[in-house]
Structure 1
Amino acid sequence: MNRAWIISLALTFCVLVAGGIGLYYVIDKVPAQIQAAPVLSDPQVNKSSEEQVPKKTKDIIYESQKLVVQIELEDGSIGSGFLYNEQGDVITNAHVVANNKDVTVMTTESKEMPGEVIGISRDTDVAVVRVPGLKGKQPLPILEEDNVELLDEVLALGSPLGLQNTVTRGEISGLNRHLQIDPFEYDDVYQISAPISPGNSGGPLINSNTGEVIGINSAKIGQETIGFSIPITSVLPMVKQWSEQPMESLPDFPELTSSSSAKGNVTDAEQATYLVQYFYDSINQGDFVTAYSLLGNSRQEETSFEQFRSGYYNTLSVKVDNLVADPKDNKIEVTAFLTAEETKNGEVSIKKYKVTHPVKYENKSLKIFEGSGEELTAESKSE
């Protein structure tokens, strides 16, 4: 028994010693090893922890909009542009400012400033306008290396139909596209799903995760939501040269007219249908301030903003099924066929409407005036 007791005591001592060594190792050695071990990180992430977190999309939109401008010509044509450097140089499309030396630039604060075209290409649809009033302002961040990939999320900013601060979202839906719209060649351009329309031309295409300008919105195909944006990296050398050495004389573009560059006129059904689509998109997103701003002055005088918004309190969603434009004299009547999801007394209804909106110019901008509507069908379901 004494021998067994001695053996048991010895084993207990060994366990205690081993445990002590193990405890010392855990307390003293392991933290040091953790501290000394290399930290594995995403190779695309910067070392600065602040730079690792991408900006929120809404913050990127807010900051970018301040540096996107509307470009106006004497004939009323409208396009877009964005601040490129601290000299006050604005990048835009050549077709926006073709055949013009002096232009007017309007900021998001509705400040009008004179601008001068200091560079324009005959072959590539890009130009630079110098705006002394913007000198010293921090420009938009520019992508220096072309690492754009399919399905990258993007934001298209600009002034379609003179509607400043307009932002549409989409993706890079194609790379290395080629097209020709005389007199310009569009080589290796991005195809985008973000909707663009007349007036968007020259505005920036922005990566929605980084806030960097990756392209210049330049063209679209017909009525389809297929737009094209010139990669900013492909024109940077040309733009930098114009900024350093402005062109002494500008080329003529006899083949381009004012209707090529932006506004068109009131008989252009595409612009009117875009406006009505934008109106209902704003309502569907709960952006009643934007929707109300698209109404003509006479309609706003008859209906306050509070009354306008209260009219949609029971509307859960609204979808545009079809738009039909009918030009008449100095206006275009746009008929919208809608599907609305509405709620009343705890019951949700799916209703169909036909609403006709007169659309015409007011102070150089298209506006929606008082129209007429009717309910087509109704289907109900209980929650």
Structure 2
Amino acid sequence: MNRKWVISLTLTIFILAAGGAGSLYIVNTVPKKLEAAVVLDQPTDTNENTEPISQTKDIIFQAQKKVVQIKLKNGTIGSGFLYNDKGDVITNAHVAANQNKVTVITVDSKKLSGEVIGISPDTDIAVVRVPGLKDEKPLPIRSSSKAELLDEVLALGSPLGLQNTVTSGEISGLNRNFDLDPFQYKNVYQISAPIAPGNSGGPLIDKKTGEVIGVNSAKLGKENIGFSIPIVDVLSLVKNWSKSPMESLPKFPNIDSKEEKPQETSKAEEATYLVQYFYNSINQGDFVTAYSLIGSDWQSTKTYEQFRTGYNNTLSVSIDNIIADPKDNLVEVTAIITAEETDHGEVNTKKYQVKYPVGYENNQMKILLGSGEVLK
């Protein structure tokens, strides 16, 4: 028989700053025997890396495209991920509680409208349909088996509103059970990957395969002990909502009253994310995505072929420093980058200072123009 955890119903759900949105914290006193049960020895030998770094980076890059930020009217923030080609996004019920419509923000800063089509009154799972994501390729889902103890995992989401954040860890416990009114958490994963407010609803991904294995949902106090709902346990529920959306949604009167003041993601932060994502795309050889991030005026002076040709000799780009300075309707982003480039078969390293005015076009943030100079 699996060991069950029982946490008192009197524990309070905290819908944390940056998220109604944020991770749930279990903050009341936990029995000493429970504290002992969650302390696991972490491996000290980090020399054995079962996956090549490049493969892990590729898994992260591809997954980030399918992970979204979910924003409510009051500014609170959560996370979600694309589940099917209908544009359906899985998230936590406490993220979408008492909402019919939400704003969904993609990794390239596109803001889309989403409708809550399913939400459970007792399992912390909800589905948001986003027409703007229809026919997009979803994240791969592990639908037939559960993770095992010490499996390596990645947690993606928007902790504290910081979109595109990735943390790594392990499955540090199995079959954890507790209640946080009104939700019941049964046989959930315990994870060592750090999560924070705003991670709620984001995917837990198998580091080796890139498959979604869980939905990050809760955290224990200030410790790096989080909990993720196994995706296989909620797939039937999610599939039913996708096939037949709920006609009326349940209400959660106890959640709104316990929301803390949300944190807004500033335009400067959004512009910084966008420029970082631009260079991540370049590094992955995804020039289509990189080109889509630049504004129409810039595109009118440079075709896609010309844009891609400009990076023919670039092996990699790393950002050493980046500063975003809001200016009226624009954000001026200045970065110092290091580029590895080939020149007649030789690899050279050069530093550049690049400047990008970043602003909105058709309600989507774009890198409007670009300039740079070599630093000596």
TM range (shorter): 0.5 to 0.7
Q: Is this contact kept in 2: 1:68–1:203, CA < 8 A?
A: yes
Q: Report deviation, 1:290.
A: 9.1
Q: Which residue of 2 aligns with 1:224?
A: 223
Amino acid at match of 1:306: I
Q: Is this contact kept in 2: 1:80–1:201, CA < 8 A?
A: yes
Amino acid at match of 1:185: Q
What is the DSSP-based 3-state SS (H/G/I as helix, E as strand, rest coil) of the residue aligned with 2:237? helix
Q: Is this contact kept in 1: 2:218–2:226, CA < 8 A?
A: yes
* 2:101 matches 1:98: no
What is the DSSP-based 3-state SS (H/G/I as helix, E as strand, rest coil) of the residue aligned with 2:336? helix
* 2:336 matches 1:306: yes
Q: Report deviation, 1:289.
A: 4.4
Q: Which residue of 2 aligns with 1:212?
A: 211
Measure, in 2, the Cα distance between the counterparts of 1:122 and 1:106: 25
Q: What TM-score do you get using the length of structure 1 for normalisation?
A: 0.56
Q: Is this contact kept in 1: 2:203–2:216, CA < 8 A?
A: yes
Q: Report deviation, 1:303.
A: 11
Q: Which residue of 2 aligns with 1:168?
A: 167
Q: Deviations over 1:154-202 (max 9, x none)?
A: 0000011111110000000000001211110111000000000000000
Matches within 5 A, 1:179-194: 179-194=178-193
Measure, in 1, the Cα distance between the counterparts of 2:147 and 2:53: 16
Measure, in 2, the Cα distance between the counterparts of 1:119 and 1:174: 29
Q: Report deviation, 1:227.
A: 0.3
What is the DSSP-based 3-state SS (H/G/I as helix, E as strand, rest coil) of the residue aligned with 1:306? strand
CA 290–81 in structure 1, closer or farther in 2 if over 3 Å, else same:
farther
Q: Which residue of 1 aligns with 2:120?
A: 121
Q: Report deviation, 1:259.
A: 5.6
Measure, in 1, the Cα distance between the counterparts of 2:262 and 2:99: 19
* 2:78 matches 1:57: no
Amino acid at match of 2:206: N
Structure (1 or 2) with the greater helix fraction: 1
Q: Report deviation, 1:54.
A: 11
Q: Is this contact kept in 2: 1:83–1:89, CA < 8 A?
A: yes
Measure, in 1, the Cα distance between the counterparts of 2:257 and 2:58: 35
Q: Which residue of 2 aligns with 1:75?
A: 74
Q: Which residue of 1 aligns with 2:303?
A: none
Task: Name which structure has the greater RCO, CA cutoff 8 Å, separation 6+.
Answer: 2
Q: Is this contact kept in 1: 2:77–2:262, CA < 8 A?
A: no
Matches within 5 A, 1:235-254: 235-254=234-253
Q: Which residue of 1 aligns with 2:136?
A: 137
Q: Is this contact kept in 1: 2:322–2:334, CA < 8 A?
A: no
Measure, in 2, the Cα distance between the counterparts of 1:87 and 1:290: 39
Q: Report deviation, 1:288.
A: 7.8
Alignment RMSD: 2.8
User: Quick one: percent identity of the two aligned structures?
Assistant: 63
- Alignment size in residue pairs: 232
Larger radius of gyration: 1
Consecutive aligned runs of 4 or more in structure 1 exceeding 3 Å deviation: 263-266, 287-293, 295-298, 301-307
Measure, in 2, the Cα distance between the counterparts of 1:150 and 1:182: 28
Measure, in 2, the Cα distance between the counterparts of 1:158 and 1:289: 21
Measure, in 1, the Cα distance between the counterparts of 2:184 and 2:159: 23
Q: Deviations over 1:28-68 (max 9, x none)?
A: xxxxxxxxxxxxxxxxxxxxxxxxx9981111000000000
Measure, in 2, the Cα distance between the counterparts of 1:144 and 1:306: 43
Which residues of structure 2 form unaligned runs of 5+? 1-51, 264-316, 339-376
What is the DSSP-based 3-state SS (H/G/I as helix, E as strand, rest coil) of the residue aligned with 1:255? helix
Measure, in 2, the Cα distance between the counterparts of 1:60 and 1:238: 27
Q: Which residue of 2 aligns with 1:159?
A: 158
Q: Report deviation, 1:302.
A: 11
Measure, in 2, the Cα distance between the counterparts of 1:62 and 1:305: 21
Q: Which residue of 2 aligns with 1:109?
A: 108
CA 58–162 in structure 1, closer or farther in 2 if over 3 Å, else same:
same
Q: Deviations over 1:192-234 (max 9, x none)?
A: 0000000000000000000000000000011110000000000
